[in-house]
Structure 1
Amino acid sequence: MEQPLLGGASARRCCSLSTLKAWLPVLSWLPRYRLKWLQMDLLAGLTVGLTTVPQALAYAEVAELPVQFGLYSSFMGGFIYTLLGTSKDVTLGPTAIMSLLCASVVGGEPHRAALLSLLCGLIQAGMAILRLGFLLDFISYPVIKGFTCAAAVTIGFSQVKNILGIQGVPREFVWEVYYTFYKIPESRVGDVVLGLLCLLLLVMLTYMKSSLGSEDDSTSSRAARKLVWTVATMRNALVVSAASLVAFSWDAFGHHVFTLTGKTTQGLPPFQPPPTSDTTANGTVVSFGEIVKGFGGGLAVIPFMGLLESIAIAKAFASQNDYRINANQELLAIGVTNVMGSFVSAYPVTGSFGRTAVNSQTGVCTPAGGIVTSIIVLLSLAFLMPAFYYIPKASLAAVIICAVAPMVDYRVVAKMWRIHKLDLLPFCVTFLMSFWEVQYGIIGGVAVSGVLLLYSTARPQIKVSDQGLLVMELGSGLSFPATEYLSHVIHTQALQVSPPRSVVLDCHHVSVIDYTVVSELRDLLRQFKLREVQFIFSGVQPSVLEVLMSADLQDFRHADCVQTALQMESRTRE
């Protein structure tokens, strides 16, 4: 009768309200929802929506997809995150980095981009269910910074051709740089002038927003400050709209001086699963397995980078606004968003730092603000697509360049040089390899970081001092990669000198030990006994001592501290 009771208790626990709230965080805040929160969420959602639309159009260019696919990727996140998200501030949608990664993997093919979103979402949701979020800890900060800096340079420079209005520039970075400069004489004056004006306006508005002073008692000053903040926050929408009006005016009079976005598909995307096969231009059918094989390393890199980017943003704003997030629940929210997004032809999305900052600054109270943002995107798809025909590509290029410019953090190099010079190695490897292929940059950086981590494990710090006999203080845990190095140091310092010397091995920093190390210690004890010198352990932690005692080492001696060990050795000589 005992077992059924346990099973019933487990089932009740799984189906309890607290468990349901853990999987659906909306149930925690929705019963407490207030009218004041609704007002703030509506305002924040509207503001973020006006920021999202022009950015989504621009990021679709980075992903080498038709501009409507940026909007297809921008509305599902608001609905899903409201149900599953644990941060009130985070907004999910296309970002510069995810767009660049998508372009490098799918090569501008919308069907494959949707399939990539499905597979990435399944991987991310699977990681959440299996609680594998800790794997993100193996991507070090220098690797992240190296990648984001390289991605910013790559994305920014890729838009120079649109500012200049030149065509026929390849995507590979080295050739892109060469042909951009080679084709400068083919630049279109209208695109250059409009692109530079848009850049200037965006920079000015960004500077005005960052230069706003503190609040004072003057009502007029507060109103002026609010107006400047609003205009600066909506700068992307305002600049793109103004540029579109200019382009429409010139086009209406028969002067085609700008490179326009062109015809876009109007209406909402059909809700259907992404195709699992493809057909090339010459009629060859490409199977699901061949498509997945073509994704290559991108299928590992993109889910990880999406999770990393979004969770880093969520943690930053949770700390800033004094609340906590659930990292594994955030993984689930991103995964489900990408899975569901694939059914509306979306490409992989993640949290956006810029739009999340706008959301937070506008005073959003709950994730429900994302619903308002999604509705604005859907309305744009339903009614505004014909107007997007007249959006100059130069204006979208200006939006992208201003969005990615802050990602080039040159100061981080000086900080790494000052704090830990060795971190520059994975940073530089990631930065340089990302210009070849962005996913190779991340893989290369992680590999170098892993080698450095393994090296520090295999070469633990051993501080040697002479206190009548040798005292060797271990600076970290002992595991099998460190066995040979520890044995080498002890042999060269104590056993191979004449006469051989006794050793006290100070283990007070050691919290981990394994079978390989124990086997080597057994051999060392035998070597010390043959040479009639002492080998004493000191400061052994209880967990390590338990392992050593269970190994039944012959002539194993230990003391609570180094001084006690020295006294033991002196009594042995007497």
Structure 2
Amino acid sequence: MAHNTTASRVKRFLGIRPEDELHDADFYDDGLYLESEPSAKEALAHLVPTADGIKHYFRELFPFWGWIFHYNLTWLLGDLIAGITVGFVVVPQGMAYAGLANLPPQFGLYTSFVGFFLYWAFATSKDITIGTVAVMSTIVGNIILDIRATQPELEAEVIARALALISGVILLFIGLTRLGFIVEFIPLTAIGAFMTGSAISIAAGQVPTMMGISTVKTREETYKVIINTLKHLGDTRLDAAMGLSALFGLYFIRWFCGFMGQRSPTRSKMWFFISTLRMAFIVILYILVSWLVNRGVSDEKNAKFKILGTVPSGFQHVGAPEINTEILSAIAPHLPVTVIVLLIEHIAISKSFGRVNNYMINPSQELVAIGFSNVFGPFLGGYPATGSFSRTAIKAKAGVRTPLAGIFTAVIVLLALYALTSVFFYIPSASLAAIIIHAVGDLITPPREVYKYWQTSPLEVVIFFAGVFVSIFTSIENGIYVTIAASGAVLLWRIAKSPGSFLGRVQLQHASRDSILKKENVDQSALDGEKHSAYLDLGRRDQSNPQVPITSPYPGVFIYRFNEGLNYVNCARHLDKMTVYIYKHTRRTQLNKYDKIGDRPWNDPGPRRGQVVDTEEIASKPKLKAIILDFSAVNAIDVTAAQALVDLRTQFNKYTDPEVVEWYFAGVTNRWTKRALVAAGFGVDRGHGIERAGGGREDVVAVAGVDPDVTVGRNEKERGSGDVDLEAGHAGSGEKRDEIAPVSSGESRPSGKRLAPIYGVNRPYFHIDVGTAVASVVRNLERRRDTEDSSLEVF
């Protein structure tokens, strides 16, 4: 008792009135279903980890635990073939991509080995391969050049390893805290523009190397690289023979294998593996050619064309990466773009292949995987690594069965590091450039995909080309920022300008489509079912047939649908639209409210002097009676939106004074949205005349048939409810809830069952759909009109 007294004093001190508190109405009989409000304590309870939640969290951290004990020989064979196949591809690619990062070729092998060796334990994708990629390598190379321009004392590998470690820590933190959903803020258009712009920039930068042109600065803006390459075509050296022929050979082998695979489907698997190994074939071929041409050369500078040179055997840079304040301050400005690229490439690729191969990935867990790879990779000499599109596609087509295939690829890389480095000495640099150009060509978004973008959302095509052009004319980093910023701006614009529509009623029946196509006059006997109501946009923006009449549900009743939510960004736009429309189609309750012209407000001055007002036209308009808001697309509302509704209610009540506008809500499924509306004074009786059955109102509620032995408690706790999803608005309950069978308006009550309300009877203004809300409004208005008519007769 003392506690209640103290609480009351505190509420009085804070100015909280009893009518402001959230509580159930107390004038309903016990045994009826009443909705209870979600509490802040209930919301916080869902944030407290439980024992089962902690176990589930750690099981998610090591997903291999769910499949490793089922491993079998069939899976082993598939993984072995796929792993070895990818291994033959990743060795030449890794060395080539290390050159993009301005690092010696062995660093590409270090990076690839760590990615393949560690990823499988944390993977939720069987197809993805982590390692060196062209785009990330180019970004790293640009960062190294940028930092060394002002701090030449910092070595390239020190910068690359520190960048990998810090970005890996960031990704690991995002993954461990399960914030992987942030990747959803990067749309497909931004990813496509980034990949296309990056591919064009990388390919353009490799053409001078492929042609043996040493006078072109390949790290300038892409358009300058293209122009300078064309200017210096006369400086082409013998390297062009090694590069152009290798590029032609790569495309020819792919085309020929695809052609033969179509001609002989029974051998398509053989032709696929030949096509997959084309990079290894080209590298072996040109190593042999280079060895024949440069036999006896011990120094790569004396070779007849540029070759790779000495590649140290084994891991030569094992140890902790150097981290100090100087390095941290140098790489800090470049961390955002590094993290974004790592996120974009890996998650986009893994999600894409997951959908194709019928499994789902966990974005947060994938971030844990690439986070671990980039944290431990620098200790063996690795630089930032992420998912590779080309190698992932090869791995998937090669028949990979589990993420363990990465181990076999790591073994191939390890063998290359210790047994084949002497052979790598003769690899022509022009041939490696051709391999890079061939690999990044698949990253360019094809025209047919851009055309699909145009058909879906023309505005996003503008963003796509903006990102590509910015990447070409400035830098890849700027292209990333522009596309993400532009996509975010479009998202905010769409939210702020989200459409809303006033609805009208249409009486529907069902008929066969053939009878409509044959343009037959369908008689009543050919129609299926009884008439029922549907609610369509009065403005016909939904492309409904203009021949079909759409009528108002009742004079003075308006239905408004929020098509894309209601929040502080768009609430003013929605409510202003409602005000203008409703004022245009209704009249004041009191036509002569202002006796003097000086009493009128400035924003409603009335007619000008001498102007004749058509009083009959004004009187023909209905008075505003009720507003129905369709919240089926609204998941949650904020304080600004709730206050805007309160202000609009006050404005309309002044407009209809002395009558009061009634507000009905349809399709409110989120319990916290209901709580917000109730806190704002909507949805429940606040002294506006709601009485017991038989009084002045007769509200309509949606009901369903329920077994008589099912007990109906006053709230969820008395019913023994289960877990409550605060965001989805679903309340679980006991097993008997599953026995409830829906009862449509056209059916009689099932035998032996009683009727139970779908929503609580203490929320008479919340309805399951627009139709039920309209039925409730019309019944109450008809009842009020009958009451007023009977009062006039008595008078």
TM-score normalized by the length of structure 1: 0.87
* CA apart distance, 1:82: 2.6
2: distance between equivalents of 1:441 and 1:253? 47
Correspondent of 2:163 among 105, 108, 116: 116
> Any residues of structure 2 matched to 1:4-43 within 5 Å, and which?
21-43=59-81
* CA apart distance, 1:508: 3.5
- Aligned match of 1:482: 570
Task: Give per-residue Cα distances to partners, 1:187-213, cap 9 Å, x unaligned.
Answer: 11x222221211111001112333344
Q: Aligned pair 1:430/2:467, yes or no?
A: yes
Correspondent of 2:309 among 255, 259, 262: 262
- Aligned match of 1:565: 777
Paired residues of 2:668 and 2:766 also in contact (CA < 8 A): no
Correspondent of 2:223 among 148, 171, 174: 174
Q: Aligned pair 1:127/2:174, yes or no?
A: yes
1: distance between equivalents of 2:335 and 2:781? 60
- What is the aligned length? 547
- Residue type of the partner of 1:301? V
- Residue type of the partner of 1:287? E
2: distance between equivalents of 1:539 and 1:263? 73
Task: Give per-residue Cα distances to partners, 1:273-307, cap 9 Å, x unaligned.
Answer: 11124xxxxxxxx81342233xx1x3123223323
Task: Give per-residue Cα distances to partners, 1:361-391, cap 9 Å, x unaligned.
Answer: 2223332221221122122222322322221
- Aligned match of 1:508: 631
* Closer, same or farther: CA 82–555 of 1 in aligned 2, 3 Å: same
- Residue type of the partner of 2:639? Y
* SS at structure 1 position matched to 2:320: coil
Paired residues of 1:104 and 1:437 also in contact (CA < 8 A): no
- Aligned match of 1:187: 236
* SS at structure 1 position matched to 2:420: helix
2: distance between equivalents of 1:571 and 1:21? 61
> Any residues of structure 2 matched to 1:120-519 within 5 Å, and which?
120-170=167-217, 171-172=219-220, 173-188=222-237, 190-213=238-261, 222=266, 225-252=268-295, 256-277=303-324, 287-293=326-332, 296=333, 298-409=334-445, 410-435=447-472, 436-464=474-502, 465=538, 467=552, 468-469=555-556, 470-495=558-583, 499=587, 502=624, 504-509=627-632, 510-519=634-643
Paired residues of 1:263 and 1:386 also in contact (CA < 8 A): yes
* CA apart distance, 1:20: 5.3
2: distance between equivalents of 1:85 and 1:516? 43
1: distance between equivalents of 2:228 and 2:646? 66
Of 150-159 and 369-378, deviating more is 369-378
2: distance between equivalents of 1:226 and 1:423? 39
Unaligned runs of 5+ in 2: 1-48, 149-155, 503-537, 539-550, 589-622, 689-763, 768-772, 789-795
- Residue type of the partner of 2:111? S
Of 123-132 and 471-480, deviating more is 471-480
Paired residues of 2:159 and 2:331 also in contact (CA < 8 A): no
Correspondent of 1:99 among 137, 148, 161: 137
- Aligned match of 2:531: none
1: distance between equivalents of 2:59 and 2:259? 42
Paired residues of 2:262 and 2:268 also in contact (CA < 8 A): no
Paired residues of 2:159 and 2:327 also in contact (CA < 8 A): no
* Closer, same or farther: CA 537–12 of 1 in aligned 2, 3 Å: closer
2: distance between equivalents of 1:572 and 1:130? 57
1: distance between equivalents of 2:640 and 2:52? 42
* SS at structure 2 position matched to 1:127: helix
Correspondent of 1:75 among 102, 113, 128: 113
2: distance between equivalents of 1:349 and 1:159? 21
- Residue type of the partner of 1:337? S
* Closer, same or farther: CA 474–126 of 1 in aligned 2, 3 Å: same
- Residue type of the partner of 1:194? M
- Aligned-CA RMSD value: 2.9
- Residue type of the partner of 1:181? L
* Closer, same or farther: CA 417–226 of 1 in aligned 2, 3 Å: closer
Larger radius of gyration: 2
Paired residues of 1:508 and 1:538 also in contact (CA < 8 A): yes
* SS at structure 1 position matched to 2:425: helix
* Closer, same or farther: CA 540–272 of 1 in aligned 2, 3 Å: same
2: distance between equivalents of 1:165 and 1:116? 31
* SS at structure 2 position matched to 1:390: coil
Task: Give per-residue Cα distances to partners, 1:200-237, cap 9 Å, x unaligned.
Answer: 11001112333344697xxxx85x65543332211101
**Greater relative CO, 1 or 2 (CA 8 Å, sep 6+):** 1
Correspondent of 2:646 among 518, 522, 529: 522
- Residue type of the partner of 1:514? D
Paired residues of 1:117 and 1:347 also in contact (CA < 8 A): yes
Paired residues of 2:310 and 2:422 also in contact (CA < 8 A): yes
Paired residues of 1:558 and 1:565 also in contact (CA < 8 A): no
Task: Give per-residue Cα distances to partners, 1:340-381, cap 9 Å, x unaligned.
Answer: 111122111112222222222222333222122112212222
* Closer, same or farther: CA 29–200 of 1 in aligned 2, 3 Å: same
Task: Give per-residue Cα distances to partners, 1:54-91, cap 9 Å, x unaligned.
Answer: 11111112222222211111101122113222333222
Task: Give per-residue Cα distances to partners, 1:311-362, cap 9 Å, x unaligned.
Answer: 3333333344444433322211111011111112211111222222222222
Task: Give per-residue Cα distances to partners, 1:72-131, cap 9 Å, x unaligned.
Answer: 111011221132223332221111121122223222822111111101111111111100
Paired residues of 2:315 and 2:381 also in contact (CA < 8 A): no
> Any residues of structure 2 matched to 1:525-536 within 5 Å, and which?
525-532=649-656, 534=661, 536=663
Percent of counterpart pairs with the same letter? 31
Paired residues of 1:268 and 1:378 also in contact (CA < 8 A): no
Paired residues of 1:149 and 1:431 also in contact (CA < 8 A): yes
- Aligned match of 1:549: 678
* Closer, same or farther: CA 212–299 of 1 in aligned 2, 3 Å: farther
